[in-house]
Amino acid sequence: MRLKTIIYVRWIVSGRIEHFTNLGKLYSIHSEEELGVSRHTLNKKDLFDGYKNKTVEVRKFYLF
């Protein structure tokens, strides 16, 4: 069985949810200033555990 991953982004203030296939797609649409976190920081984090700041919550999930 082949698994696929998605990047889940939830905006804290508005509650809006977006899904991306990878961090490159996320940062092609939103800037570091808008997200409040650099791509380098997210690359170092285990996004399966998640990352949260005052602007966004970012998690990675497997799709079956």
> How many structural domains compose the chain?
1
Encoded tokens for 7: 């990047």
Residue 34 has a pLDDT of 97
Q: At residue 2, does pLDDT exceed 80?
A: no
Q: At residue 1, does pLDDT exceed 80?
A: no
Q: How many residues does the chain have?
A: 64
Residue 53 has a pLDDT of 97
* Tens of pLDDT, residues 8-62: 999 999 999 999 999 999 999 999 999 999 999 999 999 999 999 999 999 999 9
What domain range includes position 51? Answer: 4-63
Return the beta strands (E) in the chain as ranges.
4-11, 17-20, 51-52, 56-63
